[in-house]
Amino acid sequence: MNIYPLKFQSILKERLWGGTKLKEVLNKPIASDITGESWELSTVSGDVSVVSNGVLANTPLNTLIDEFPEALLGKSVVERFGKEFPILIKFIDAKQDLSIQLHPNDELALKRHNSFGKTEMWYVMDADAGAELIVGFNKDVTKAEYAKSLADDALPNLLNYEPVKEGDTFFINTGKIHAIGAGVLLAEIQQTSDVTYRVFDFNRKDKDGNFRELHTEMALDAMDYDKKDDFRVIYGTVLDKANDMVDCPYFRTNFLNLTKDFEQDLAARDAFTIYMCVSGTASISADNGEVAIKKGETVLIPALANRIRIKTDGTKLLEVTI
């Protein structure tokens, strides 16, 4: 495999709740004013990322994995996940509130959907004044209390609302009820899964005048009904080093606030590395190539790369591996 930093074509998704910040803030070539998501790295069926730079341009990510599994993913990742890319990377723009939802764990997702579960994290890149996220309940509730709140159209009264600003980071366990609020632009790192149980949608209708599907029954046994203050991620912001953010079984994320050039040895990592640029600009070089990256772009470093160098006068990056 030709080892160099790989960039991919963004997969843009219209959403009922989407807006224009993906273009206005991140320079994405959106085609409508309700674009809610930009999938940056994906092997979800029907939405497979395609390389946009270098000699491997126009090659789908799953094709690279089929041909070069250990070189791209790393031996340890292949042993665990086979030829599956285990992470899905997105940028999300919520002009309106997203539906209130949750995701099943691995066991339930495998049983019901032949899929991974969906553990995820959010890094807030931009937030309007007063913007909030919904994360968890504001008290311990029973299944009966929850069901009654749905019947009474009163679920929002049981939910916990978190005001947010740029840099705030949240870890969302499977089973935790949640929603991204209006006015929030964020980076999302998650298990490769598109399984979502929507439980409340503010009685909105889609463009065809229909209510969107709810997954009321499936959510009942997937939900964590306890109030848990385990979602805000407190992380270091020391300049010019990798600061630990999230370390879970599905991904590890570090925060890099770089003011000067930075080098990192990857030889012992035995896994791919992803860089999401959440501020500024940089260039990243590895083995046989170098690529520029700016706010709103994502780069994948194959596992076989031994060392990377980041050249910059100022950038903030999320570094993701497994």
Q: Cβ distance 162 to 132 under 8 Å?
A: yes
Q: What pLDDT does residue 206 have? A: 81
Q: Does 280 share its domain with 175?
A: no
* Cβ-proximal residues to 123 (8 Å cutoff; 6+ apart), any chain: 167, 168, 169, 186, 187, 189, 276, 278, 318
Q: What is the phi/psi pair of residue 195, to 5°?
A: -90, 115
For residue 274, tell me if it sits in a domain.
Answer: yes
CATH value at residue 299 = 2.60.120.10
pLDDT per residue of the chain (322 residues) written in tens, 0 to 9: 899 999 999 999 999 999 999 999 999 999 999 999 999 999 999 999 999 999 999 999 999 999 999 999 999 999 999 999 999 999 999 999 999 999 999 999 999 999 989 999 999 999 999 999 999 999 999 999 999 999 999 999 999 999 999 999 999 999 999 999 999 999 999 999 989 999 999 888 888 888 889 999 999 999 999 999 999 999 999 999 999 999 999 999 999 999 999 999 998 899 999 999 999 999 999 988 999 999 999 999 999 999 999 999 999 999 999 9
Residues catalogued as catalytic: 198
Q: Does 118 share its domain with 33?
A: yes
Tell me the C-alpha distance between 253 and 319, whole Å: 5
| Domain coverage including residue 316 | 242-321
210-to-34, 205, 206, 292 alpha-carbon distances in Å: 17, 5, 5, 43
0.85 cut: is pTM over it? yes
Q: Does 187 share its domain with 117?
A: yes
Burial class (CB in 10 A: 0-12, 13-18, 19+), 271: buried
Q: Per the structure, how many domains does the chain have?
A: 2
